[in-house]
């Protein structure tokens, strides 16, 4: 699986320097997405295209050839590395980058350049728009004062004449343009790591980001391994049974377990168990306190811990990437059900989801419908305080097909019904 790092943030935060350093150090392909917008700007200026002339712009975009190498930028075969960093490109690039057709075409190009490679991209909308599923997202920021100071220093070094006032105005103008753009405005992705570089030197920023990416890379490797199911061998089965026996004994020592409705698990065909989720002890309770093998679906992030990865593989836990359309995971679920295995899924999607008022996830109902299997609702009651009573109440299997209708939301309704049954079962104490 290719590894994608997205670095976003306003201009003057040191993104370029830091990203190019990280690319070398981590052996990633460096893609300066700003350079692609700069190339388009240069071409439009050269061809004297009116920026309102959408048809002409489309034509130019069809035939443009942009190539980025380690340290050079080529536009239609010509080295334009220096030209794109000067005026008039500087003063027009912001406007050009906000033209819808330009954006669409450059995003497509940036994705194509990255296709199948380990990459680090720097820009404004990488984590939010170009690669919303990037493995690492970093949002670099710095105060306006600091960015003015840095840009002014750069200008002096390059022999460019400017006053501090001009530089400040320019930075504020660009920030405003980038943040308030109608299409793909600059903003921090929800899952991006925010790094304020105001009081850090470039070396310190490089060190900090290197550490973040290195550790995410290690995590990604472990998580990816979670998707490779290990073979079922006698050895694996023995280890699983030993762990199961040992941990189940602990449950019996620490809790007074009461199970009801076990007859609802008797089918020889595959089915899905849906339970409420209080803490990690409940998933384990269902798996450990059952004669049958139950494979839970759990967030893939858990696989980043080596010990959990070992347990996950031993118990064939199916990883799923949260908030993403994880097709690999869905395929693993369907295959397991086809092999008449039992899956465990938490419709709340997270611990104490009901308390947090989360929308009930419809993944279990969706998979049940696709695999044509039933859902057994389970209510787990009790607080899991040592020596307290824990109720595990299995309900009657639910046939998802019976909810099917012309209403496009029928899967959601079926999911809500499953959750209602679960809640009812959590209150059953006899």
Q: Report the interface residues with ligand DC, using CB under 6 A.
A: 11, 33-34, 37-38, 93-94, 97, 123-125, 174, 178
Q: Return the bridge partners of 139, or none.
A: 8, 194
Comparing CB distances to ligand DC, the nearer of 123 and 382 is 123
365 Cβ contact list (under 8 Å, min separation 6): 375, 400, 403, 411, 414, 415, 418
Comparing CB distances to ligand DC, the nearer of 140 and 311 is 140
**CB burial class (10 A; 0-12, 13-18, 19+) of residue 301?**
middle
Shortest separation between residue 330's beta carbon and ligand DC, angstroms:
31
- Give residue 6's Cα distance to chain centre: 12
Comparing CB distances to ligand DC, the nearer of 33 and 329 is 33
Task: Give CA–CA dist 280/249, Å, rounded.
Answer: 17
The structure tokens 């960093």 sit at 85
Task: Give CA–CA dist 333/325, Å, rounded.
Answer: 14
Comparing CB distances to ligand DC, the nearer of 8 and 341 is 8
Comparing CB distances to ligand DC, the nearer of 11 and 114 is 11
Is 193 strand, coil or helix?
A: strand
Comparing CB distances to ligand DC, the nearer of 154 and 215 is 154
Shortest separation between residue 196's beta carbon and ligand DC, angstroms:
19
Shortest separation between residue 54's beta carbon and ligand DC, angstroms:
18
Shortest separation between residue 359's beta carbon and ligand DC, angstroms:
31
Q: Residue 192 has which token pair?
A: 């991006």
Q: Residue 237 has which token pair?
A: 């089965």
105 Cβ contact list (under 8 Å, min separation 6): 40, 61, 64
Q: Are 428 and 260 a contacting pair, CB within 8 Å?
A: yes
Comparing CB distances to ligand DC, the nearer of 85 and 225 is 85
Report which DSSP code applies to 130. Answer: I
Shortest separation between residue 85's beta carbon and ligand DC, angstroms:
8
Comparing CB distances to ligand DC, the nearer of 178 and 369 is 178
Shortest separation between residue 33's beta carbon and ligand DC, angstroms:
4
Comparing CB distances to ligand DC, the nearer of 94 and 198 is 94
Query: Residue 138 to residues 72, 116, 191, 212: CA-CA distances in angstroms?
Result: 24, 21, 9, 9
Q: Are 347 and 415 a contacting pair, CB within 8 Å?
A: yes
Shortest separation between residue 37's beta carbon and ligand DC, angstroms:
4
The half-sphere exposure of 112 on its side-chain side, counting CA atoms within 13 A, is: 11
**CB burial class (10 A; 0-12, 13-18, 19+) of residue 52?**
exposed
Shortest separation between residue 383's beta carbon and ligand DC, angstroms:
49
Comparing CB distances to ligand DC, the nearer of 93 and 287 is 93
Shortest separation between residue 204's beta carbon and ligand DC, angstroms:
21
Q: Return the bridge partners of 298, or none.
A: 319
Which residue, 264, 271, 323, is CA-closest to 293?
A: 271
Shortest separation between residue 20's beta carbon and ligand DC, angstroms:
12
Which residue, 220, 229, 360, 232, is CA-closest to 300?
A: 220
Q: Residue 71 has which token pair?
A: 């340290």
Q: Going by DSSP bridges, is the β-strand pair 375-381/389-394 parallel, antiparallel, or unpaired?
A: antiparallel
């Amino acid at each position: 699986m290719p590894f994608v790092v997205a670095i976003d943030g306003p201009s003057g935060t040191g993104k370029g320097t830091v990203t190019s350093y990280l690319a070398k150090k981590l052996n990633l392909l460096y893609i300066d997405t700003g350079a692609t917008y700069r190339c388009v700007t240069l071409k439009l200026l050269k061809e004297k295209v009116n920026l309102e002339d959408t048809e002409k712009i489309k034509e130019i975009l069809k035939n443009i050839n942009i190539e980025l190498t380690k340290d050079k930028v080529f536009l239609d075969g010509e080295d334009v590395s220096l030209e794109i960093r000067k005026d008039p490109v500087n003063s027009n690039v912001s406007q050009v980058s906000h033209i819808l057709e330009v954006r669409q075409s450059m995003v497509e190009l940036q994705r194509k350049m990255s296709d199948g490679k380990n990459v680090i991209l720097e820009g404004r909308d990488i984590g939010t728009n170009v690669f919303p599923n990037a493995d690492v997202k970093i949002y670099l920021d710095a105060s306006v004062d600091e960015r003015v100071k840095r840009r002014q220093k750069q200008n002096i070094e390059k022999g460019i004449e400017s006053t501090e006032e001009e530089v400040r105005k320019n930075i504020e103008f660009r920030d405003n343009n980038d943040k308030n753009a109608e299409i793909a405005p600059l903003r921090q992705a929800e899952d991006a790591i925010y790094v304020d570089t105001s009081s850090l030197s470039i070396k310190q920023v490089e060190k900090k980001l290197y550490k973040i990416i290195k550790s995410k890379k290690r995590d990604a490797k472990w998580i990816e391994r979670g998707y490779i199911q290990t073979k079922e061998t006698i050895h694996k089965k023995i280890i699983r049974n030993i762990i199961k026996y040992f941990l189940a004994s602990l449950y019996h020592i620490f809790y007074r377990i009461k199970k009801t409705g076990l007859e609802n698990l008797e089918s020889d065909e595959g089915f899905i168990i849906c339970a409420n989720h209080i803490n990690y002890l409940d998933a384990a309770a269902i798996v450990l306190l059952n004669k049958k093998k139950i494979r839970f679906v759990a967030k893939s992030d858990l696989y980043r811990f080596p010990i959990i990865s070992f347990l996950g593989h031993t118990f064939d836990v199916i990883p799923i990437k949260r908030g993403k359309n994880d097709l690999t995971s869905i395929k693993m679920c369907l295959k397991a059900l086809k092999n008449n295995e039992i899956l465990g899924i938490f419709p709340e999607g997270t611990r104490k989801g009901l308390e947090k008022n989360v929308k009930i996830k419809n993944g279990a109902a969706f998979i049940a419908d696709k695999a044509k299997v039933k859902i057994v609702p389970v209510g787990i009651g009790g607080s899991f305080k040592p020596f307290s009573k824990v109720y595990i109440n299995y309900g009657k299997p639910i046939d998802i097909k019976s909810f099917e209708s012309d209403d496009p939301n029928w899967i959601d309704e079926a999911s809500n019904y499953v959750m209602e049954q679960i809640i009812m079962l959590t209150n059953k104490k006899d």
